[in-house]
Amino acid sequence: MCYVTAERAECVQLCVLSHLIAILVVVMHRIKILSGHLRPPGSSEHRRDLWRSECGCAGSSSPDDVVVVHGRRTAVGKAKRGAFKDTTPDELLSAVMTAVLTDVGLSPDKLGDVCVGNVLQPGAGALMARVAHFLSGFPETVPVYTVNRQCSSGLQALFNIAGAIRSRSIDLGLACGVESMSLRSIGEPGDLSSRLTDNDKARDCIIPMGITSENVAEKFGISREQQDAFALSSQQKAARAQDTGAFQREIVPVSTRFVDADGSERQVTVDRDDGVRAGTTLAGLGKLRPAFKPDGSTTAGNSSQVSDGAAAVLIGRRSAVEVLGLPVLGVLRASAVVGVPPDLMGIGPAVAIPAALEQAGLTVADIDVFEINEAFASQALYCVEKLGIPLEKVNPNGGAIALGHPLGCTGARQVVTLLNELRRRGRSILHEQRSVSKSAAGSRRFSCGFLGQLEPGQTTGRPETCTPPRAVCVGQRRHHECVQQGDEEAAETVVSVAAGRTPVRLPEGRGEYVGMEFYC
Ligand SMILES: CC(=O)SCCNC(=O)CCNC(=O)[C@H](O)C(C)(C)COP(=O)(O)OP(=O)(O)OC[C@H]1O[C@@H](n2cnc3c(N)ncnc32)[C@H](O)[C@@H]1OP(=O)(O)O
């Protein structure tokens, strides 16, 4: 174990407080059927309902559900060299705040609160956030505040807004995360008591993050080869995601200034993560020298990159979201934060994920996709192995090793990426997320037979369900439009897709059917 000495104080990183990692379980409407309001979380009956409802048995959603409406992120830039090296964080934040509301056509005065995760800006970036707020055209009556839970800050912002919704102090809020690691550096621990050296745990809080990675690798026997293989996989998945346009929907293009080496300035539009190294090989990774201690195994290739970026997620109470005709992208079912020893900070997900799963009455096997932060390959691998998660379920579009890790942004970025991935997997979700409840009128209300996204031309399978005579489309405005405008053909297509009467070919340009309800 290695402690920070006075000579190495310059490399002390801020992100070293007793580590609290938060895990968000967002599993689209599939999880709706597990509504914790019906049975005590964790009971076996509660868990079985998931599978029963996959076969078309009953479950329910609640008007009090905290639902995710929409989310966007900027591209992630390499700090100090990449596309956002000259961009201030308020601009990054404003880009995503604006895009999220514009996409769903929501006026900012409908927001009850805005919370922004940030780590490095002074005062956790409170001033920066309010400036971004006004740059986005938000009225002064909408409040904004910031939160710093170190590398989980973007996720904590989401939990804070969700908590305010649950306590009914707001109906709708925006959860964001932002970081410029170009313009502010890690490594400024601030003013700390000299007594910290007398207290083992307090002293461990100033261990550099890279050394905590070495500690995890040593203590749990995660070899250099394993770490490099994990890093390679992260790079390959991210490169594939870029090639297939998987990030296109989530990235907000940002026009900004870029200063070249000769001091000349130009305008650039940034819409691509610039840290991904498609040409990464195991041999290349194997040649890299340890970055944090001479005989260590943590390198520039198997560590997260120091980065700039922002993300924003709009969430609300289902009842309020429905009144506003907004789409429902996912449901927040559980969240957990658990403290771990500061010298092993990266093991957080291995204890926080089970805590969140227990709350939701789920097991690892029930979850389709995990987004686990890749602060370092050592800790990410440890968590995956400890929890027995099949590797193919983890970060299917790569993680922070390939994409970068703008500290305060990453948690919110992961939510955006996760929900887009689940939306892309709409086909399988189609079979799993039906629920039935009695509406006030006594008709049976099928809630969201389909919550995934279908691309034009893509077909769905055929879940076993009744044939609904009438569809009321919620979610993407095009659903409303097709029904309200009496476009029978489009409405019929929506119904057919949802009911799965026959595999249906969606008409060109009508591919985005996300969220609908129908009655029969
Ligand atoms: C809770 C939490 O999340 S804690 C985590 C908080 N975040 C952190 O602590 C950040 C961790 N990461 C770091 O500190 C930095 O990325 C470091 C120190 C590991 C590396 O920083 P840098 O040296 O600036 O990285 P850089 O990108 O320049 O790469 C260094 C070298 O490795 C090479 N390299 C990096 N990735 C690869 C790769 N995939 N394949 C081959 N070579 C690679 C680069 O080409 C470069 O080589 P060069 O020096 O010949 O040009």
**Residue boundaries of the structural domains of the chain:** 66-185+195-506
Q: Of 20-34, 104-118, 434-448, which range is least confident?
A: 434-448
**CB 213 less than 6 A from any atom of ligand 1:** no
Band (pLDDT 50/70/90 cuts) for residue 456 is very low
Q: Collect all residues with Cβ–Cβ distance below 8 Å to 50 and sequence separation of at least 6.
A: 30, 31, 33, 34, 362, 366
Report d(CA 103, CA 406) in Å as an integer. Answer: 24
Which of the two residues, 457 and 274, has the higher pLDDT score?
A: 274
Report d(CA 285, CA 283) in Å as an integer. Answer: 5
Q: Report whether pLDDT(329) > 80.
A: yes
Instruction: Dump pLDDT digits (tens) for 181-200.
Output: 999 998 888 899 999 989 99
Q: Of 141-150, 156-165, 488-497, which range is least confident?
A: 488-497
pLDDT of residue 323: 93
Q: Report whether pLDDT(365) > 50.
A: yes
Report d(CA 117, CA 409) in Å as an integer. Answer: 7
Please calculate the CA angle 378-80-269 and round it to the nearest 5 degrees.
Answer: 110
- Ligand 1 centroid, distance to 6 Cα (angstroms): 24
Alpha carbon separation from 66 to 165, 167, 217, 288, 366 (Å, rounded): 7, 11, 38, 45, 20
Q: Report whether pLDDT(473) > 70.
A: no
**CB 234 less than 6 A from any atom of ligand 1:** no
Instruction: Dump pLDDT digits (tens) for 398-437.
Output: 999 999 999 999 999 999 999 888 877 753 232 222 222 2
212 CA closest ligand 1 atom index:
4
pLDDT of residue 61: 79
- Closest C-alpha to 174, from 271, 26, 9, 310: 310
ipTM of predicted complex: 0.99
Q: Report whether pLDDT(297) > 80.
A: yes
Q: H or E stretch including 156? A: helix 153-166
If one residue of 16, 209, 338, 378 were mutated to test the ligand 1 pocket, choosing by the most ligand atoms within 8 A of its CB, it would be 209
Q: How high does pLDDT run on average in the chain? A: 77
Which residue's CA is minimally distant from atom 23 of ligand 1? Answer: 300
Band (pLDDT 50/70/90 cuts) for residue 361 is confident
Report d(CA 336, CA 349) in Å as an integer. Answer: 10
- Superfamily of domain 66-185+195-506 in CATH is Thiolase/Chalcone synthase (3.40.47.10)
**CB 305 less than 6 A from any atom of ligand 1:** yes
Instruction: Dump pLDDT digits (tens) for 87-133.
Output: 999 999 999 999 999 999 999 999 999 999 999 999 989 999 999 99
- Ligand 1 centroid, distance to 298 Cα (angstroms): 10
pLDDT of residue 446: 28
pLDDT of residue 424: 78
pLDDT of residue 426: 57
- Ligand 1 centroid, distance to 369 Cα (angstroms): 27
The residues facing 256 across adjacent strands are 268
Q: Of 136-140, 250-254, 382-386, 505-509, which range is least confident?
A: 505-509
Length of the chain as a residue count: 520
Band (pLDDT 50/70/90 cuts) for residue 360 is confident
- Ligand 1 centroid, distance to 338 Cα (angstroms): 28
**CB 15 less than 6 A from any atom of ligand 1:** yes
With contact defined as beta carbons under 8 Å apart, do 214 and 339 qualify? no
